[in-house]
Structure 1
Amino acid sequence: MDPAVLREDMVDSLEHEAKAALDTERVALAMRDVPREAFVDDERLAYADRATEIDGTTVLAPSTAARLLEALDAREGDSILVVGVGVGYTAAVLAELGDATNVHAVDIDRNMVHTARENLDRTGYGATLVDCRDGSRGLPEYAPFDRILVEAAAVRPPRALLDQLSGDGRLVMPMGTSGQTLVALDSTGTVLERICPVAFRPLLLEGQQPGRLERNRTEREDREFAERNAQRRHGWEQEWIDWDGGRYR
């Protein structure tokens, strides 16, 4: 079947009240224009409303991608950062919504960075910058950003990303561990809106391997936990005891 027809059917189903994933005409038009089959190399899977695994990364279901884009509320001219670019589809839709030169993306997986670059270049969005980075650290060289989209879950928004958000900016991310909620936050980390329950892989940090099922912890969280624990300990509790060796100090 003609991919253009499949795209039309996909967007129509996302706009239908049964899914209600799309309600903004600009986002709907952008999703009609971006050839999803170029990012998911199987037309049957590309336009099915379910997540797909490619080279160890999850390509979001169209309805999930639509909800992220709606929550982000990107406007023309906005400077945008996508954390966890994956195969590049969401970044392509954001580029279609505005200007590809205003869209920046990072991923911790070097192979996915190359894949995203190739996909974006092949579909006409090659001006989008894609770099291999620890997503929790953002892309400070190009900050501030008007919109930041995090396509991986964290317990709290990484401090670096909030610092790179413009004063009236908007950060959208799945927040939580086993029970995640898609939220929109401002630059202070205040939740502006709770959108819907979601299930995303954790945001990996530098040194962690993609695909490992381990709880995400940002550097800020590690520091906060350490400080909290230190405040709870007093006197002998702060001593290190080598019970096996029979020594203490």
Structure 2
Amino acid sequence: MEPAVLRDDMVDGLTSPPKEVLSNEAVALAMRDVSRHEFLEEERVAYADREHETLGTRVLAPSTVARLFDTLSIEDGDSVLIVGAGVGYTAAVAAELTDETNVHAIDIARPLVGLARENLARAGYNGVLVDRRDGASGLPEYAPFDRILLEAAAVEPPRALLDQLAEDGRLVFPCGTQRQRLVSVSPGDKRREFGIVSFDPLLVDGEQAGAVERNRTEREDRERARKRLESRAGWEREWIEWDRRVESGPN
């Protein structure tokens, strides 16, 4: 069967009962236009509503992609940052909703960055910029962004990403650990929830697949530093506390 027919069937299944997860006409049109099979190894199952795994990353099911973009609500001309480029499919959908040169995608895994670039070029989206970055740091040199999509779970959105939002921008991300909800955040901490989702956690540099070693998270670093301080006694502790008082200056 022709890919265009398969794409139409895929989108029709997302917009009609029993799924009905896609109501935004612009997103529906974008998903009809993007050749999803260019981003997956198994072309025959590319349009099935199921997840895939490539190079250690999860390729989102079409229904999940639809929910993300329904919530993101990209408008023509918006500058967009995709955090978690993966295989490049979501960046391609974003490119159909705005000018492709306004779409920027980053990923912490270098092999995925190369794969996303190849897939996007093959599918006809050469204008999308894909770079290797720590997702929590964003892409400040291209900020501000009207829309930021974080395709990884976090308890709170990274401060750097919030700082890179435009004045009327919107950040969409899975919020939580075991039990996650899709959340949109706008400047001023205006939040809305859009139902339950399940995503892998946001990684820091060193935790990605293929890394030489797995770094501790920043939270773990702080906890270990505090435990080391609390374990010290006598002159060592007094000296550390004296240094801190000197650095902070008089009260």
TM-score normalised by structure 1 residue count: 0.86
Partner of 1:14 in structure 2? 14
8 Å contact kept, 1:182–1:195: yes
Segments ≥4 residues shifted beyond 3 Å: none
TM-score normalised by structure 2 residue count: 0.86
Partner of 2:181 in structure 1? 181
Matched residue SS, 1:82: strand
Partner of 1:240 in structure 2? 232
| Structure 2 unaligned regions, length at least 5 | 238-251
- Residues 192-216 of structure 1 show CA distances to partners (whole Å, capped at 9, x for unaligned) of x21111110111111212389x9x9
Partner of 2:202 in structure 1? 203
- Residues 24-49 of structure 1 show CA distances to partners (whole Å, capped at 9, x for unaligned) of 11111110010000001223321111
Which whole-Å CA distance do the structure 1 matches of 2:162 and 2:122 have between them? 32
Matched residue SS, 1:200: coil
| Structure 1 unaligned regions, length at least 5 | none
Give the deviation of 1:70 after TM superposition: 0.6
Alignment length (residue pairs)? 232
Give the deviation of 1:17 after TM superposition: 2.7
Find out whether 1:79 has 2:71 as its counterpart. no
Q: Percent identity?
A: 57
- Range moving further from structure 2, 16-25 or 59-68: 16-25
8 Å contact kept, 1:204–1:210: no
RMSD of aligned C-alpha atoms?
2.5
Which whole-Å CA distance do the structure 1 matches of 2:149 and 2:5 have between them? 29
Partner of 1:140 in structure 2? 140
Q: How do residues 97-176 of structure 1 correspond to structure 2 at under 5 angstroms?
A: 97-176=97-176
Give the deviation of 1:238 after TM superposition: 3.9
Give the deviation of 1:190 after TM superposition: 3.3
Which residue identity lines up with residue 93 of structure 1 in the other structure? V
Matched residue SS, 2:85: coil
Which whole-Å CA distance do the structure 2 matches of 1:248 and 1:147 have between them? 49
